[in-house]
Amino acid sequence: MSLITTSEQLREICARLARHPFVTVDTEFLRETTFWPKVCVIQLASDDEAVAVDTLAPDLDMQPFFELMANPAVEKVFHAARQDLEIIWNQARLIPAPLFDTQVAAMVCGFGDQVSYQELVSSICKQSLDKSSRFTDWSRRPLSDAQIEYALADVTHLRDVYRFLRGKLEKSNRDAWLADEMTTLLSPATYEMDPLNAWERYRNRARKPRDLAVLMELAAWREQEAQSRDVPRSRVLKDDVLIEVALAAPRDADALGNLRAFPRGMERSRAGAEILAAVERGLSKDHKTLPKIERERRGSGNGAATVELLKVLLRQVSERHGVAARMIATVDDLEAIAGSDNADVAALKGWRREIFGTRALELKHGRLALTISNGRVTTLQWQETDSNEAQVA
């Protein structure tokens, strides 16, 4: 029985899966025409079996699945879990735990940035995946055998990928590194789409307090509108139009309608009136209450040169330790470090500081040098000796 369509079948399979130390999980969903993802199929596998749950089956009670996701005795294994977890959070207000994300684990183990499931299956399992059903309409019924087979492959190979990465993490003593990376995925704040926070996607587009104030109100209005109508944000107002309105801050329908990218006629609609009201709310905000605007750091003289050196050091550290560079530090981290030794960035905390952050500060202050040896970047550490000679680090 590989396709689950009734509540009784789901209760039985979840009871069996709960006896295993881990289960692999994946979802197939649609989001092209809605704000909230519409889950169509959920795939589950243990060492003994693999099933696809038809979540669109009539009167299907999903409670046994949610209970399995909350079971502390069963580790839930996903690949690139964020959207899957968003679905579960929106439906049941729970985040599966304990949790293992093979994409994150692969980055810790040196497989590169955001490695795909297909790449991991090819590299670890020496198998190729049939992607012929990749762009299928998962909401159409009945599901074909080819669709079900495709869906199950996303959780059956995942078992071997999980075992390999789990073993590699234990051998390298990097379980703590993975746990640190999982913090964001395990936080409810990651999935709570508060309209008041919608402006943060465009925080770098505002250069003046007035722009930021109006952008905050407009983004909040669009987010609330999209959520209440269950449509994509772009169906309400496209990103480029949102930014144009925020920067122009029109105060009447004529000014709004004269904006080049603004949809013709919309300025006289209910939405147009609400957009103008949002602009007025933004203009009336006290600038002292606004978040601090981050000034552009790129291209600022010596700071830019420091960032370029830090990038070279980051690549060297990434290769040396076999961990994806993006996991150690982002470009924003490097720019912040170039500007301040006490920057509040992940690269200067925990295990990242141990392998990179401390060295980054040494490089910045001339206590570490970069050189080429046998075609590879190496570091030279200045020792406090009478001769003040440099030693290879």
* 41 close to 141: Cβ distance less than 8 angstroms: no
Angle subtended at Cα 33 by Cα 221 and Cα 35, rounded to the nearest 5 degrees? 40
Q: How far apart are CA 29 and CA 271, in angstroms?
A: 29
Q: How far is CA 57 from the centre of its chain?
A: 30
pLDDT along the chain (393 residues), means of 10: 92 98 97 94 97 97 98 98 96 96 94 90 92 84 94 96 96 90 91 93 90 97 97 96 96 96 96 98 94 62 83 91 90 92 92 93 90 76 52 51
Main-chain phi, psi angles of 23, to 5 degrees: -130, 145
Pairwise CA distance, residues 135 & 133, whole Å: 6
Kindly tell me the sign of the dihedral angle through the C-alpha atoms of 106, 111, 115, 119: negative
Q: Give the pLDDT of residue 372.
A: 82
Give the integer Cα–Cα distance in Å for 298 and 304.
6
Q: Alpha-carbon distance 312 to 317, whole Å?
A: 9
> Are 90 and 191 contacting, i.e. CB atoms less than 8 angstroms apart?
yes
**Structural domains of the chain in order of their starting residue, each with its CATH number:** 3-190 (3.30.420.10), 197-289 (1.10.150.80), 302-392 (1.10.150)
- Would you mind telling me the total number of residues written for the chain in this entry? 393
Asked if 214 and 249 count as a contact pair (C-beta separation under 8 A), the reply is: yes
pLDDT of 382: 61
Cα–Cα nearest to 283, from 250, 236, 260:
250
Of 372, 369, 364, nearest to 382 by C-alpha is 369
